[in-house]
Amino acid sequence: MALLEAHNLTKHFGGLAAVHRVDLTVHDGEIVGLIGPNGAGKTTCFNLLSGFLPPTDGTITFAGAPTLGLKPYEMVARGLVRTFQQTTLFQEMTVLQNVLMGLHQHSRRGLGRVLASWRAFPPDEMARCHEVLAFTGLTAMSEQLAKSLPHGHQRTLGIAMALAVRPRLLMLDEPVTGMNLDESLRVMQLVKTIRDRGTTILLVEHNMRAVMGTCERILVLNFGQKLAEGTPAEVASNPDVIAAYLGPGVSHA
């Protein structure tokens, strides 16, 4: 079943067609990659799909219902959660507190209200946060301030915050950028485990090894338009993709 479906998705910034007439489908249980050169429109697509920007044109359906006009927190309430290309943690809070903030990202309570009731979080919410921390390997750091974590763990904490609400669709914007090889392999394994536990994944990533080794289907954007779509092997051998993006010698192994 199609979980997320966009038709004719378009976003113009003045004269710039950042996203132009893109059709995109993500089925339940898939790991789909969205790739393309810098400026291709990947993050703009994420912003449109997650309610952070209104499209200039086109339709988006999530879990069978149109999403036009829904705010990001309303998308979260429906089960669509995205992370950001730039790490957006609450730097002065602990790791555990960050996950609690993630758990409340769809509530309309402002940050101040969440903080005011800090000591009063119900046991089931605390249990959920500890479960997410254990799952993402952050338990040992739960009382550390977010700002004190190494980069790789900060990025993982961003994923943990998104997972707190048990999303149906998790959209990750460059989750392994800036990580060393070990860290990025660990995060890509985490992505597979998240999917195996029932969360569908849409992933933007520059690291080709990560994308090719993790995604079942890949969509390539170039200058805001869809250039190709297919399995990693199909995309990696597509002459248009090689010319625009991959260059010779990139293997999908």
**What would the DSSP string read from start to end of 44-75?**
HHHHHHTTSS--SEEEEEETTEE-TT--HHHH
Stretch that binds ligand ADP, among 25-33, 42-50, 106-114, 210-218 (CB under 6 A): 42-50
Residue 115's Cα: distance from chain center in Å?
A: 26
**CB of 138: closest distance to ligand ADP in angstroms?**
27
Q: How far apart are CA 73 and CA 242, in angstroms?
A: 38
**What are 102's two structure tokens?**
């993630």
**What are 71's two structure tokens?**
């705010």
User: Which partner in ligand ADP, Mg ion, none is near 44 (CB below 5 to 8 A by kind)?
Assistant: ligand ADP
Site string for ligand ADP, 3-32 (x = CB under 6 A): ----------x--x-x--------------
Stretch that binds ligand ADP, among 37-45, 110-118, 134-142, 180-188 (CB under 6 A): 37-45
Does 43 participate in binding Mg ion (rule CB under 5 A)?
Answer: yes
CB-wise, 43 or 154, nearer to Mg ion? 43
CB-wise, 10 or 97, nearer to Mg ion? 10
Using alpha carbons only, what angle is made at residue 42 by residues 39 and 44, rounded to the nearest 5 degrees?
A: 90
61-90 residues in contact with Mg ion (CB under 5 A) are 85
* Burial annotation 102-131 (CB, 10 A radius, 16+ → b, else e): bbbbbeeeeeeebeeeeeebeeeeeebbee
- Do residues 219 and 32 lie in contact, with contact meaning Cβ atoms separated by under 8 Å? yes
Site string for ligand ADP, 43-72 (x = CB under 6 A): xx----------------------------
Stretch that binds ligand ADP, among 33-41, 54-62, 73-81, 235-243 (CB under 6 A): 33-41
User: Which partner in Mg ion, ligand ADP, none is near 40 (CB below 5 to 8 A by kind)?
Assistant: ligand ADP
- φ/ψ (deg, to 5) at 221: -105, 145
User: Which partner in ligand ADP, Mg ion, none is near 1 (CB below 5 to 8 A by kind)?
Assistant: none
Stretch that binds ligand ADP, among 35-43, 127-135, 211-219, 234-242 (CB under 6 A): 35-43
- Of 79, 18, 37, residue with least CA distance to 220: 37
**CB of 129: closest distance to Mg ion in angstroms?**
29
Q: How far apart are CA 175 and CA 184, in angstroms?
A: 8
> Where along the sequence are the contacts to ligand ADP (CB under 6 A)?
13, 16, 18, 36, 38-44
